Amino acid sequence: MAKDKAQKVRTETAEKASLGDKARELGEFFEQSKGELKKVVWPGRKEITATTIAVLVLTVVMAIFLGLVDLGLSKIVQAILA
């Protein structure tokens, strides 16, 4: 029974120490993240606009394509079932 209590005390001490270590590691992580964000080259307004337009155009084209495929397949299924 004394061994169990000693083991429990050691485990609780290790948990407390590891909690402090985790907090320190978390702080270190945020400091490193902050440094990495300073290295990022952010896109300019012109590049953002061009990319946004390209995404919107591709989205509209894909929507039309999938709509036509859906319409065609539904007509085929209606013809088979009718």
SS3 13: helix
Mean pLDDT of the chain: 88
Cβ(43)–Cβ(51) below 8 Å = yes
Which pLDDT score, from 0 to 100, does residue 19 have? 82
Query: What does pTM read for this prediction?
Result: 0.54
What token pair was written down for 30? 């945020």
Distance CA 75, CA 82 (A): 10
Maximum CA pair distance of the chain? 82
Which pLDDT score, from 0 to 100, does residue 1 have? 56
| CA trace torsion 49, 55, 60, 62 (10° rounding) | 170
